[in-house]
Amino acid sequence: MMASHFDIALCLLIFSVAAAALLGRQTFMAIVFFITYGLLLALAWLRLDAVDVALAEAAIGAGVTGILLLIARARLKAMDPRDAPLPHPAVRTIAALAAVSISAALGLRIWSLPPSEGLQKAVRARLSEAGTDNPVTAVLLNFRGWDTLLETLVLLAALLGAWTLSRDKDWPGRAGRAHHTLPDGVLAEFGRFLPPVALTIGVYLVWVGGHQPGGAFQGGTVLASAWIVTVMTGLLPAPRVDDASLRTALLAGPIAFVLLATAGLFADRFLYYPPEQAKALLLGLEAALAVAIATTLALLVFGAPQSREET
């Protein structure tokens, strides 16, 4: 496939928006530019025929990261901290030199790369025994299942790290801060309308990941956003962090994966799915992963338990 003028324009736009995000003066504008940058990257993924990645980037990279940044900015602004000083001009020159040389070195190396086959053919050859028709899902859950297994543990570790940041007097309690809204105001109506739609779309995305772009990560993020909207619009209180069903949901993904992987030991080896049952196994695994991802992401956005008198 050949590049078009659109691709050149898109790349220039992506770079400019990223520069605006990093070099602008106001933090709020920087975050808005960063969210826009994420959405433009999703367009770039579409041009590169990576639709699953486009979905993940739009939902996770632009959406949830944007919420996290805005919440952090609001909390920092409320504390009104000391301003940090700008670095010395010499530091800026050295940084600019480092940046330009790294980019140039990478660019030159890429330009002179020899042509390569890629792994498409290898994946396509074994796709029928992988249990799914979507090659990316097959790679994520089957061929490179080890990476995804560890990834679920990384998510859990990040959440545990975030939870350790709460103060002793706030623990255990409801995650994050309480949200109060007018019961018949705009936010409440929004919270009544959007979550059912998001729930349907999220479940659909998880299901359709078996044969079209989609999957547990993308669908799980949409499900997480349904829960986040419900809590942020004040319709439901945030869950208690010591709630047993919450903790089960968090562990559903890693435990299901480890169990499945060890069960494979009896058939052949660790992380082996017999081709006849692969489809059913992967569907169950995707469901468990979607639940775990939705819960973990939502709890990461809610934050550690915090009382309202906190600044």
Task: Return the residues of window 216-255 that contact another protein according to CB under 8 A.
Answer: 217
Asked if 146 touches another protein (CB under 8 A), the answer is: no
Distance CA 299, CA 144 (A): 27
Asked if 138 touches another protein (CB under 8 A), the answer is: yes
Site string for another protein, 161-200 (x = CB under 8 A): xx--x-----------xxxx-----xx-xx--xx--x---
Residue type, 267: A
**Rounded alpha-carbon distances, angstroms, from residue 77 to 63, 70, 96, 300:** 21, 10, 29, 20
Residues 53-72 that bind another protein (CB under 8 A): 53, 56-57, 60-61, 64-65, 68-72
- The DSSP secondary-structure symbol of 175 reads S
Among 31, 250, 251, 281, binds another protein (CB under 8 A): 31
Q: What is the DSSP string of 236-267?
A: SPPPBTT-HHHHHHHHHHHHHHHHHHHHHHHH
Asked if 129 touches another protein (CB under 8 A), the answer is: no
CB atoms within 10 A of CB 129: 13
Judged by CB under 8 A, the stretch of 14-22, 239-247, 256-264, 277-285 that binds another protein is 14-22
- The DSSP secondary-structure symbol of 87 reads P
**Rounded alpha-carbon distances, angstroms, from residue 196 to 74, 178, 201, 269:** 28, 22, 9, 41
Residues 82-121 that bind another protein (CB under 8 A): 82-89, 91-92, 94-96, 98-100, 102-104, 106-107, 110-111, 113, 115-121
Asked if 267 touches another protein (CB under 8 A), the answer is: no
Q: Residues in the chain, how many?
A: 311
85 versus 266: smaller Cβ distance to another protein: 85
CB of 266 to another protein, least distance (A): 26
73 versus 279: smaller Cβ distance to another protein: 73
